[in-house]
Amino acid sequence: MADEGQKWTQFYAAARVCTPSRAALMTGRYPIRNGMTSGKRAVLFPDSGGGLPPEEVTLAELLKQKDYSTGAFGKWHLEHLP
């Protein structure tokens, strides 16, 4: 990407723990706005219910509308349950 004009060298994390910061990266919204933070539990675990709200639009979905292909690799368990 750097050869084509994009080089990202600095950024801020939207949260101090994984789940809300991943949701922020995927949606472009603060975790409090995308529903992925709460006073009870800030991180999703295998026994957690729910995930990213179904009505939340991800950046990948928006880019797909413009014929971009996207992928997320690594630990992105924001929708691990039906």
Nearest residue to 61 via CA among 26, 23, 20: 26
- Catalytic annotation present for 77: yes
Active site residue 18: yes
Residue type, 63: L
Of 30, 35, 77, 79, catalytic: 77
Catalytic residue among 12, 18, 31, 50: 18
Q: How far apart are CA 29 and CA 4, in angstroms?
A: 26
Q: Could you tell me the CA-to-CA distances from 43 to 10, 26, 36 in Å, in that order?
A: 25, 15, 8
Which residues does the annotation mark as catalytic?
A: 18, 77
